[in-house]
Amino acid sequence: MIDTREHILNTSLKLFLQKSFKEVTMKEIVETTGLSKGAFYHYFSSKEKVFEEVVDFFLSDFMKFDFSNLSHDSLKSFYSDYLKSMEEKIQSAGKIGLVTGDTFNANHYFLLFDALKMLPSFKDKHLEHNQNELNAWTEIVTSAKKSGEINSKIPDELIAKTFIYLGDGFGMHLIIDGAASKMHELKPLFDGIYMGFRA
């Protein structure tokens, strides 16, 4: 609790990951931080402003994926690393109290939907992020084909999209069902399509 400003940001992030912007009230933010309204408005000029910063922070820390850090040896090792990073993310989500027991009580889509609606610049950033993710996967697929790791007539980008969408769909089910511990069930799915693309 050294840095009050950061404390407010962390608390707000936690709240905005649990409910939508409208559902999170100033009263709630103030009470959860243990501060007062005066303190809050000393650091932020409005609820919108703290939301903006929360989104920025979340993007750079959570969503932004440094794909260059993942193994580029093979497609298999790439998605294995990818899955490992995902599990780590869930673990760090648990550390800030977003997982109680086995139950997920966070949903980053709240943040995403609100950001898309409220922050005009966000949509472009998000599309860029998506494009980067697609490019990273596509590159790996391309080199996996070159190396002979996989051998499929399906266009590289389609294979990349298959991995991405499969992961996203799985993640959505995870969030809705609230079962954080089932993250490991994604690997068999990736293994399955991987086998298919090898043939």
Q: What residues make contact with DNA under the rule CB under 7 A?
A: 4, 24-27, 35-39, 41-43, 45-48
CB nearer DNA, residue 4 or residue 77: 4
- The footprint of a second copy (CB under 8 A) covers 19-20, 22-23, 107, 109-110, 112-113, 116-117, 126-127, 130, 152-154, 158-159, 161-162, 164-173, 176-177, 188-189, 192-193, 195-197, 199
Q: What is the nearest approach in angstroms of DNA to the Cβ of residue 71?
A: 44
Distances in whole angstroms, Cα of residue 93 to Cα of each of 7, 90, 104, 199: 16, 5, 9, 38
Tokens of 127: 């599309």
95 binds, among a second copy, DNA, none (CB under 5 to 8 A by kind): none
**Amino acid identity for residue 133 in this structure:** E
3-class SS at 74?
coil
State the residue for tokens 């294979």. Answer: 159
CB nearer a second copy, residue 20 or residue 71: 20
CB nearer a second copy, residue 43 or residue 109: 109
Q: What is the nearest approach in angstroms of a second copy to the Cβ of residue 16?
A: 13
In this structure, the number of other CB atoms found within 10 A of the CB of residue 114 comes to: 21
130 binds, among a second copy, DNA, none (CB under 5 to 8 A by kind): a second copy
Distances in whole angstroms, Cα of residue 99 to Cα of each of 26, 55, 171: 23, 20, 15
CB nearer a second copy, residue 97 or residue 169: 169
Q: What angle do CA 185, 62, 176 make, to 5 degrees?
A: 45
